[in-house]
Amino acid sequence: MTRLSARGRGIVVLLAALLGAAFTANLGLWQLDRAAQKVAMQRALDERSTLPPLDAGALASTTEAAAAQHHRAVRLQGRWLAERTIYLENRSMDGRAGFIAVTPLLLERGAVTVQRGWTPRDAMERTRLPDLATPIAVVEVAGFVAAPPSRLFEFSGAAAASGPIRQNLDLAEFARETGLLLHPLSILQADDAGNRGDGLLRHWPRPAIDVHKHYGYAAQWFALAALITGLYVWYQLIHPWLHAKR
């Protein structure tokens, strides 16, 4: 195998340094962009939360319109479909793992999924369902419009979701399964006088709560880019020059 000449090795090292520095710098910029997105989301939340609450008739019926309503306060009246409650597993709140209870609320027209809160999982019997009190009469639900429940990683070959305990909840599939006309959004239920005794936690995270994490990651990536650049300059430029001066 023909060895690279000194010039060829220098070009290879230069290209590797340029690629490494560019790659890590771009990762730093990506982290800053993620932080900016969360700050913008938090600003939208703060602005929209001051608007009058939406009622059932004003809820969006399309995905595009729903996105414009995220973080808006709502106050809805309807009946819980307790038998359709889904418990999303492997969800954490306050650093503890458990379920997010999601129950459809039947409105005068259509229905909406409500993320009612977090409940712990039985450590001894993992398939045991929580004892969740659900009124059968008409209830008033206060909360905020949100995207459908966040999805966790699933293997592509996993069996179709069924039963009350699930990893994820796809609204389109759930609508076909239940026959409900679901709005393309969900509601994060807020604490109020009517639900504080149900045992559910509702410490919903704010979008920008971990924005400093992204700033920290960005600083690490930029430092790595600077390190790559500094090592190249020292070993390929300054050190050979000093050695030649001796």
For 96-134, write each residue's pLDDT tens digit.
889 999 999 999 999 999 999 999 988 788 788 888 888
Q: Is 2 inside any structural domain?
A: no
pLDDT in tens, 130-142: 888 888 899 999 9
Q: Which three-class secondary structure state does DSSP give residue 75?
A: strand
What per-residue string of b and e applies to 159-168 under the rule 16 or more CB within 10 Å gives b? eebeeebbeb
61, 29: one domain: no
In a domain, 174, yes or no: yes
pLDDT of 201 above 50: yes
CA separation for the pair 43, 75 (Å, rounded): 22
Same domain, 32 and 67: no
Same domain? For 65 and 132 the reply is: yes
pLDDT tens by residue, 160-190: 567 899 999 999 999 999 999 999 999 999 9
198 domain-assigned: no
Does residue 75 share a domain with residue 125? yes
Q: What percent of the chain has pLDDT over 90?
A: 56
The domain total for the chain is 2
Mind listing the pLDDT tens digit for each residue in 143-154? 999 988 878 766
DSSP string, 132-158: ----SS-EEEEEEEEPSPPPPP--TTP
- 34 and 92 share a domain? no
What's the domain range around 168? 50-152+161-189
Q: At what angle do helices 211-232 and 6-48 cross, to 10 degrees?
A: 170
Radius of gyration, alpha carbons of the chain: 26
Cβ-contact 168, 161 below 8 angstroms = yes
